[in-house]
Amino acid sequence: MVFKGVQPEKGGVEGVVDVGIIVIAHFENPAKDYALEFLKDILLWRKRCLIPVTAFLGAYHILTNYLGVEGVSACEALKKTFETKSPALYTNISFELAVEALTNAMGYRIDSWGGSLQLPKLIQRP
């Protein structure tokens, strides 16, 4: 089944991953190794789940504002995940805009959504 708005090559999706798994996989905690393994399976498309690129903006916010992860560390780790160009990454916004938002959030010490001020006009709509 292909859902409306999902890129056609991503049919047969089993689920959608949100902020929680991304956060747990990107900071030191007892479940990190399990989350990383799960995320690895998703990024390698062994588990056919989508991860909206916007979820990384939410993950940055939680990592830096609630879990005390340094902005530089959070930004670099999240951007590294984009480098996989995995088919699991659902580009509801472009990678470029997400990287810009994370970089702005880190550099200006603002919320990751504030780092993407152009977001409303650049969201890709079906």
Quick: pLDDT tens for 59-105. Answer: 999 999 999 999 999 999 999 998 998 999 998 888 888 888 898 88
- Report the mean per-residue pLDDT for the chain: 83
Query: What is each CA distance from 117 to 11, 42, 113, 120, in whole angstroms?
Result: 31, 29, 7, 8
* Mean pLDDT confidence for 48-65: 94
C-alpha torsion 110→83→121→48, nearest 10: -110
Give the C-alpha distances (Å, rounded to integers) separating 45 from 12, 16, 21, 38, 54: 11, 12, 16, 11, 19
**Its pTM surpasses 0.85:** no
Ranges 12-16, 18-22, 25-29, 74-78: which has the least confidence = 12-16
